[in-house]
Chains A and B, each alone.
Chain A
Amino acid sequence: MQALTLKDVRFRYPGMSEWALDIPSLEIQQGEFVTVLGPNGAGKTTLSLLANGLVPKSIKGEFEGSVEVFEHPAPKYTVSQLSTLVGMVFQEPESQLFCMSAEEEVAFGPENLAVPRDEISRRVEWALDLVGLKGLNDRSPFTLSGGQKQRLAIAAALSMKPSMLVLDEPAYALDPMGRIELYSILSDLKAKHGMTVIVMERDAEDLVEYSDRFVLMANGRVTASGPPREMLVDPGALRAAGVSPPQMAEVASLINLRRKAPPLRFLTVDEAFAEITINTHHHSKGASH
């Protein structure tokens, strides 16, 4: 099944001359982990708002085309109804947590959906556990770290039992450890619960291992799409598109510039290690002969 299908979609904010989104076709499969990469103003936020109906339902503008969420035409449903299919996590951790305790934050969605109390209670424990915040039920969100806040926001979306999570620059306020923690939680959700995950980022760091596909965006258009390794054959192309490639990919291309031997191909520290030991091994063998 397709989780998200866009056809001939165009959206323009009121009073703007450029289309914020202009996507002839975009299909995301159920259970896929897709990373949408694009520089400032590429249209990532607009695309994520489109996925759960806030664009064009709440944020009005000129809209054309068709959006289907799990094969349901999005315009037929309210944002509340879509929220049980699409969980949204916004960029700012601080302003999307508004309750006085972590537990209330996670319970808020199911409460609004009139879910019975026992079931809410189960979902709260389940969601807090999944994001690694077990036992912090009574903590005020204000007192959590940036990474914990972002994970709480994920739990608050998960408790509504969506089949797809859309995260707008979730790593924005996180340190490198926090990013890895966050992405591995998302990747677990995909592996264990069949969750469709769409992550919007400006920076491809750490995402190679987790993503099934990179989608590149610029000026509201999708400019390229494919498996991360194919997209990173030439990290320079990513940089030209305004997106930071993973640091290891850049290291590889810098080494290759000075090497006459066949180019090294690695995207992570582990791969780099493997690749370099193989090469030096060859070298020392050759010398001993």
Chain B
Amino acid sequence: MTGFLDLYSEKDTFLHRLDPRVKLLAVALISVLAFILTELLYLVVLLCFILLLLVLARSSYGKAFFALKFVVRFMILITLLWPLFDRSGAPVLFSIGPLDITEPAVWRGATSAVRVGCFATLWYILMFTTSQRDLVRALVKLGLRFDYGLALAISFRFIPTFGLTIESIKDAQRARALELDKGSILRRSRNYVSILVPTIVYALRTADTLALTLQSRAYGAFSNRTYLREIRMRASDYVAMTVVVLILLLPALAKYIYGVQI
């Protein structure tokens, strides 16, 4: 755990041990599958499969529900609003004033909602089972330049620091009788400038020291830098990768070669 925005939770499950590159691939391929599927039934089956993964990752339900609460709300919203904007097809189920609600549109709404649910749950599982440092390592292994990987890692690392800084600056300003949430919108946004300015100054100073530190630690001295920890594919990773590829490949073949409606 590194901080507030970090969903990762250290556990010893199959999904936690999986090579982060395989996990990234799985998220990508299963997302593609969710795009290919157009029948609500199959999408629901896919969502169930993803929820099964969530159970296998041993996510506490409270934590999962908190993170996915917004997604569930979003899914309900999509289901309800979709038919209002998509009025093609027949038959018309009922009308709200001038708006005709058609049956295919209701189905399409529900389908999109389930699709969004699939994406969100996949990402949640990825973030829940993969530490930020493994994620960065995987990206660097997949060809991201080390500089960018480092920049990404540093920003992950400093999110909680700046979070705390903003809180203590807020407290300091409150102690000087600044009432942050009082007054008109203009007044309130002006109040927030008194938080923003010290935060930016602090960030710049941190960046300054950071630049000196990186140089003192020989950053960029050799182009062939070594790595203490390297992620390596094991047999189980190859098996998982094959399974994931098949999960996408079989439905795709069925749909595009044999013309099965899925």
CA gap between A62 and B128 in the complex, in Å: 52
Which residues of chain B are within 8 angstroms of A288 by Cβ–Cβ distance?
none
Q: Is B69 an interface residue (CB 8 A)?
A: no
CB–CB A156/B217 < 8 A: yes
Question: Interface segment, B14-22, B208-216, B236-244?
Answer: B208-216
The residues of A that contact B222 with a CB separation of less than 8 Å are 112-114
- Return A213 CB to nearest CB of chain B, in Å: 24
CB neighbours (8 Å) of B36 from chain A are: none
Considering only residues 151-202 of chain A, those with a C-beta below 8 Å from chain B are: 156-157, 160
Tell me the bound Cα distance from A115 to B221 in angstroms.
Answer: 12
Quick one: CB contact mask for B90-121 with A, threshold 8 Å, 1 for yes?
00000000000000000000000000000000
For A95, give its contact among B136, B206, B216, B230 (CB under 8 Å): B206
> Is B218 part of the contact surface with A, judged by Cβ < 8 Å?
yes
Residue of B131, B214, B219, B228 near A120 (CB, 8 A) is B228
Chain B, 195-253, CB within 8 A of any chain A CB: 205-206, 209-222, 224-230
Tell me, yes or no, whether B1 is within 8 Å of chain A by CB: yes
A141 to B153, CA, bound (A): 13
- Interface membership of A276, Cβ < 8 A: no
Please name all residues of chain B whose beta carbon is closer than 8 Å to the beta carbon of A58 when the two chains form the complex: 211-212, 215
A92 at interface by CB-CB < 8 Å: yes
- Would A99 and B212 count as touching, CB distance under 8 A? no
Partner of A117, one of B131, B133, B224, B227: B227
User: Could you say which of B1, B153, B220, B226 contacts A99, with CB atoms under 8 Å apart?
Assistant: B153
Q: If A104-B133, A140-B1, A142-B160 touch, does A96 touch B210 (CB 8 Å cutoff)?
A: yes
B132 at the interface (CB under 8 A from A): yes
Size of B's binding interface in residues, CB under 8 A: 37
CA–CA, A49 and B228, complex, Å: 28
**Within the assembled complex, what's the spacing in Å between the Cα atoms of A110 and B205?**
26
Q: Interface residues of A, CB < 8 Å — how many?
A: 44
When the two chains form their complex, are residues B133 and A92 in contact, meaning their CB atoms are under 8 A apart? Answer: no
Q: Which residues of A have CB within 8 Å of B220?
A: 80, 112
CB distance from B71 to the nearest CB of A (A): 27
Asked whether A225 is an interface residue with its Cβ less than 8 Å from the other chain, the reply is no
**Interface check A83, CB cutoff 8 A:** yes
Encoded as 1 (CB less than 8 Å from any A CB) or 0, chain B from 35 to 71 comes to 0000000000000000000000000000000000000
A54–B218 CA distance with the chains assembled, in angstroms: 12
Cβ 8 A contact of A112, one of B2, B131, B218:
B218
The verdict on A232 contacting chain B, using a C-beta distance below 8 Å, is: no
Looking at B3, B136, B209, B228, the one whose CB has the most chain A CB atoms below 10 A away is: B228
Within 8 A of B (CB), among A44-70: 49, 52, 54, 58
Smallest distance from the beta carbon of A176 to chain B beta carbons, Å?
23
Task: Report A-chain residues with C-beta under 8 Å of the C-beta of B154.
Answer: 98
Cβ of B226 and Cβ of A94 under 8 Å apart?
A: no
Q: Tell me if A8 counts as interface (CB < 8 A to partner B).
A: no
State the CA gap A242–B164 with chains docked (Å).
33
Cα distance A113–B131 in the bound complex, in angstroms: 26
A window 83-118: CB within 8 A of B:
83-84, 87-88, 90, 92, 94-96, 98-101, 103-104, 107-117
Say yes or no: B205 contacts A114, CB within 8 Å: no
Q: For the complex, is A124 an interface residue (Cβ under 8 Å from B)?
A: yes
Residues of A within 8 A of B161 (CB): 94, 142
Give the contacting residue for B205; candidates A79, A95, A113; CB below 8 A: A95
A109 to B213, CA, bound (A): 10
What residues of chain A lie closer than 8 Å to B216, measured between beta carbons?
52, 54, 79, 83, 87-88, 157
B156 contacts the other chain (CB 8 A):
yes
Taking A79-B218, A107-B228, A140-B2 as given, write out 7 further A-B residue pairs in contact, using a Cβ cutoff of 8 Å, ordered by the A residue number. Answer: A92-B206, A100-B132, A104-B133, A112-B217, A114-B221, A115-B226, A142-B160
Closest 8 CB pairs between A and B? A80-B221, A80-B218, A95-B206, A107-B228, A95-B209, A109-B217, A100-B133, A112-B218
Question: Can you give 17 A-B contacts (C-beta < 8 A)?
Answer: A54-B216, A58-B211, A79-B218, A88-B213, A88-B216, A94-B206, A98-B158, A103-B228, A104-B228, A104-B229, A109-B218, A112-B220, A113-B218, A114-B221, A116-B226, A117-B228, A121-B228
